[in-house]
Amino acid sequence: MLKHNFSAGPCILPQEVFKKAADAVIDFNDLSILEISHRSKDFVAVMEKAQSLALEHLGLTDKGYKALFLGGGASMQFLMVAYNLLENKAAYLNTGTWSAKAIKEAKLFGEVIEVASSKADNYNHIPKDYTVPSDVDYFHFQTNNTIFGTQLQSTPDVSVPLICDMSSDIFSRQRDFEKYDLIYAGAQKNMGPAGTTLIVVKEDILGKVSRQIPSMLSYQTHISKDSMFNTPPVFPIYVSMLTLEWLKEYGGIGAIEKLNNQKADLIYNEIDRNPLFKGFVINKEDRSKMNATFVLANDAHSKKFDSLWKEAGINGLNGHRSVGGYRASMYNALSLESVQTLVDVMQHLEKQA
């Protein structure tokens, strides 16, 4: 049976990528991709291609940015951002669990101003009315909140460096990425397997803090060594490169955004139409196009619904414990047909109720 993978992460990847990655495990220029030296010309070419494609997709080639592939996940970036950029005080927007964790790490290095938060409402919306002080070192926010299913639909207009965690919607929609001074994203949501993190940083924002930064935590160190200061996560970077190649062949961010809009419209139209379901996010304009969160209007239907979607070959639909209910994660590689399968199940439940 065809499996429809709605997992929030590690997430669905293109079938073509799986095939190429599997082949490379057995034979990548006479060795396995798992055993080649990261200093070999073959892997250096992989790293350079991955970095080049990341900048190309974001429209940042030759514009003063560097792309890094590092370990430690986005959680490591919560620390590294503040270590490298926070001299006196920084502003943060708190829209979810991961924002709160980023704030916690930043407080180790300086004053943190929480300009707005939706925590009191269990992060069921994106705060709108807030002001970012002009004297902060940077403003940090997340574009998409995987757990709660909210997403910022526009880029904040601020006069300070803009730092963004795009872990769960990187490469999914077009934006003016030149407005951002540093973007980071764990690969396992939309780009590759768990194990590497993409950082795209404008070089001219670095080197301005007075503290001494440990070599391993310095962006400048990793830039000077082309992401090879230590042994990089070879296989996750290789698969990320394959996924970025797949995205280019598909038509780039502009083309995939159209598909993502179709998928989001399909599931949200059903949530709004079907009386058995209701969305978790209170404002429709805050709904994530990557992670649709919803609950049953009556829990008495949960056993039947769970049985139906599992029988249909759907995987990973359970919501996060912070929200409950269900979460349909619709990353780039998920097909429109998979979303239609979920909608069909929801309609089938309605007919049986």
CATH assignment of the domain containing 264: 3.90.1150.10
Integer Cα distance of 137 and 87 in angstroms: 7
Question: What's phi and psi for 210, nearest 5 deg?
Answer: -85, -20
Q: What is the DSSP letter of 136?
A: S
Residues 6+ apart with CB under 8 A from 163: 81, 85, 138, 139, 140, 141, 180, 181, 182, 183
Place of tokens 């993190």: 197
* 129-146 mean pLDDT: 97
Integer Cα distance of 142 and 123 in angstroms: 13
How many residues in total does the chain contain?
353
Q: Report pLDDT for 123.
A: 96
Residue 352 annotated as part of some ligand binding site: no
Integer Cα distance of 163 and 171 in angstroms: 16
- What H or E segment, with its residue span, contains residue 4? strand 4-5
Residue 7 covered by a domain: no
Q: Which of 20, 66, 181, 189 is catalytic?
A: 189
Q: Quote the pTM value.
A: 0.96
Residue 9 covered by a domain: no
Residue 135 annotated as part of some ligand binding site: no
Structural domain including 78 reads 15-250
Give 353's pLDDT tier (boundaries 50, 70, 90).
confident
Active site (annotated) includes residue 202: no
Residue 15 annotated as part of some ligand binding site: no
Residue 4 covered by a domain: no
Contact 142, 277 (CB under 8 A): no
CATH number at residue 128: 3.40.640.10
Residue 231 annotated as part of some ligand binding site: yes
Contact 171, 191 (CB under 8 A): yes
Q: What phi-psi label fits residue 212: left (phi over 0), alpha (psi between -120 and 50 degrees) or beta?
A: beta
Q: Are residues 138 and 280 located together in one domain of the fold?
A: no
Mean per-residue pLDDT of the chain: 97
Select from 220, 250, 280 the last residue of a domain. Answer: 250
Residue 227 annotated as part of some ligand binding site: no
Domain count, the chain: 2
Contact 112, 106 (CB under 8 A): yes
Q: Which of 20, 66, 137, 165 is catalytic?
A: 165
Residue 341 annotated as part of some ligand binding site: no
Q: Report pLDDT for 1.
A: 59
Q: Which of 20, 66, 98, 137 is catalytic?
A: 98
Contact 167, 184 (CB under 8 A): yes
Q: Are residues 66 and 82 located together in one domain of the fold?
A: yes
Please report, rounded to a whole number, the percentage of residues in the chain having pLDDT higher than 90. 98
Integer Cα distance of 168 and 142 in angstroms: 9
Integer Cα distance of 100 and 116 in angstroms: 11
Residue 95 annotated as part of some ligand binding site: no
* 34-39 mean pLDDT: 95
Integer Cα distance of 229 and 199 in angstroms: 15
Active site (annotated) includes residue 165: yes
pLDDT digits (tens, 9 = 90+) for 228-285: 999 999 999 999 999 999 999 999 999 999 999 999 999 999 999 999 999 999 999 9
